[in-house]
Chain A
């Protein structure tokens, strides 16, 4: 019965109106204080999103500033879906995403398992593996570009013995496969530590009693890892998968710095194509359509993972 008493009932009657007014005033004050931040956030996030969707149904190109901004329906989307360049960029982006996720998750899992063991200097190693993740992608991409430079980089110095003296082994923009290899290396170097830290956090919450019970039941080594560690690590794995998948789908800066999409268009990803359409061609209509589809693609993937995660919980 006592828990059915409202707090209003136990307050002295005379205090209620004043308290209500104060609560309303506090609420108004709260709204007023957050209003500037909310308005600014809406101005710099909601407005651009809405404007971008709006633009994607219009002709809006700064290169043709004298031409009218006019409604073109779904023409920009039609142009995109029939564009060989867009389809090729989509194919490359999905390929990059699949490969990078498999490699990064596998490497990060190994790293996390290693870091979860006790060894001398574990704290230093755990802290230091985060350094690549803390380096801005533009900086790390430039570093890797320099390291793979056939004249200034150390990679070619070490590989000096396996190619003819008159020519150096050129990694970037001289070969499609070598260009992709360097992009993968630079991207993974930066992102594997981040995934490893997420997985390490997941490993640390697995109770040791579970392993002890498994050991009593005869499960050790690989079997314990497969039957105990992996299932209990699934929540952390899903989080890591969501982060890495979205990062990989939207990959731009490492490609922009290292190859500029070359040789030809062979390393152009969706985000790079979008950047080129928006910034170089200043085609906000077509660029808007590309970015809307890119965001939808990312949302679908994220939604798929979340659904997978929820199913797992129930």
Chain B
């Protein structure tokens, strides 16, 4: 039967009458899908349940997490874990978590957190105070525990610990430098001896978070401390001046560092272009070809007078959503993922350094000897300021470092102009 506009088809009248209802239902369903369900009453760990675990791991790290989750589910058949892989970009990852928390969502029940997030999450009341679960925080490296502690209470458990330190070419520098001045002289000597070197020192100088950890890696060697209440100290100024001079006075680092993040620094070192490099432990596992293969040392930045060997804390932690009804199961998962066996397995596969000193065993060293160096670095690592407003403080620090690395301000001028802003932003967290 052919349809003509003037003729009603059978059922059309009814469809027209239903149309508004269908439209409203579709809209309501669409809006409902954007909402979230409540957390409900606490669910015992022994109950059958599914929990959501948010993490950012891709590739090998993602596979290692999946393997660990499979083993956890096998050991705990009543708990299913749904892995929610969020963005690998840290800013987007943080936004995704914040969106869930501000919406009051009970999921993710448990999540991966950068070491700089717990204070903000705790201040906002988004994460569970772990004291309720009686954690044994003494078993982890204390610096990372401190990063997850806010107002004296633990809010996140160290998962893996990434201490940033100093790489050097053992074929060019026969004995590890014993002071910052020796780093300069060794770098200059290496550049003179080996024309294939493009720089003596590579470090993260781009305007981003990594510039702060690069600075922090050398800061304590000069007696500095990144206390946002008082950044303008002689130690911090000396550390900042050393990095500035590395580019503009001693010429061991190129101006190109102003565009380098850890990836470029890794490339410079692994390609044999740099005698020294400030970077994270992952570079050791990539030094697999000449000229760096078998010629790589990884140490804390050597201390100067009045300083201590330097290393900056990086790493990831695990925390529990304050709104979840599955905190018991989530805690079981955290305990499993941070057990020595799970951490060693992960370290062997991904190179993520364990957060437990007890996981650094001869068996681990046999498979990856460089973890011996990582353990040493972990004992010196310094955390970034533990502050709910850290991301704003971080921006202030990035501005200061960027100005110095670009030589648009002297170290003294940059540190004195930013110190007040850093203090103000850090203090604002108190309300």
Contacts and interface: CB of A to CB of B under 8 A. Distances in A.
Interface in B384-427: 388-389, 391-392, 394-395, 398-400, 402-403, 405-409, 414
Contacts of B27: 35-36, 39-40
B24 interface: yes
Contacts of A259: 207
A263 B254 contact: no
B123 A173 contact: no
Given A25-B16, A65-B125, 11 more contacts: A28-B16, A33-B23, A150-B256, A151-B256, A172-B258, A172-B259, A173-B259, A174-B258, A262-B406, A276-B395, A279-B91
B403 A264 contact: yes
B373 interface: no
A166 B24 contact: no
Contacts of A166: 251, 254
A134 interface: no
Contact of B98 (A167, A173, A263, A282): A282
B20 interface: yes
B114 to A, nearest CB: 13
Given A40-B30, A261-B207, A63 B402 contact: no
A66 B254 contact: no
Interface residues of A, number: 44
A35 B123 contact: no
B31 interface: yes
Contacts of B123: 63-66
Contacts of A282: 98, 391
Given A64-B123, A170-B254, A265-B399, A281 B391 contact: yes
Contact of A170 (B91, B259, B268): B259
B272 to A, nearest CB: 13
B286 interface: no
B125 A67 contact: no
A59 B12 CA distance: 53
A149 B403 CA distance: 19
A262 B402 contact: yes
Nearest to A173: B258
Given A35-B23, A173-B258, A264-B409, A43 B31 contact: yes
A195 B256 CA distance: 34
Contacts of B394: 280
A151 B273 CA distance: 11
Contacts of A98: none
Contacts of A40: 27, 30
**B31, B400, B402, B429 pick with most chain A CB within 10 angstroms:** B402
B95 to A, nearest CB: 7
Contacts of A260: 206-208, 398
Contact of A64 (B16, B23, B24, B429): B429
Contact of B406 (A29, A63, A261, A264): A264
B30 A263 contact: no
Contacts of B259: 145, 149-150, 170, 172-174
B402 to A, nearest CB: 4
B402 A280 contact: no
B181 interface: no
Contacts of A276: 395
Interface in B322-346: none
A72 to B, nearest CB: 13
B16 to A, nearest CB: 5
A contacts with B: majority SS:
loop
Nearest to A264: B403
Nearest to B126: A65
Interface string A54-98: 000000001111110000000000000000000000000000000
A128 interface: no
Contacts of A175: 406
A176 B408 contact: yes
Given A36-B27, A64-B123, A173-B258, A263 B102 contact: no
A266 interface: yes
Interface in B219-250: none
A106 interface: no
Query: 9 closest A-B pairs (Cβ-Cβ)?
Result: A65-B124, A263-B406, A262-B207, A264-B403, A32-B20, A173-B258, A170-B255, A262-B402, A260-B207
Contact of B392 (A43, A63, A167, A263): A63
B255 A63 contact: no
Contacts of B189: none
Interface in A1-44: 25, 28-29, 31-33, 35-36, 39-40, 43
Given A64-B429, A173-B402, A281-B389, A150 B23 contact: no
Contacts of B414: 264
B11 interface: no
22 contacts: A29-B16, A36-B30, A40-B30, A64-B431, A65-B125, A66-B123, A66-B431, A150-B254, A166-B251, A167-B255, A170-B256, A174-B258, A175-B406, A176-B406, A260-B206, A260-B398, A261-B207, A262-B207, A262-B399, A263-B403, A279-B91, A280-B91
A220 interface: no
Nearest to A145: B259
A32 B254 contact: no
B98 to A, nearest CB: 6
Given A281-B392, A282-B391, A170 B258 contact: yes
B379 to A, nearest CB: 31
A88 B429 CA distance: 26
Contacts of A137: none
A256 B35 CA distance: 32
A168 interface: yes
A173 B207 contact: yes
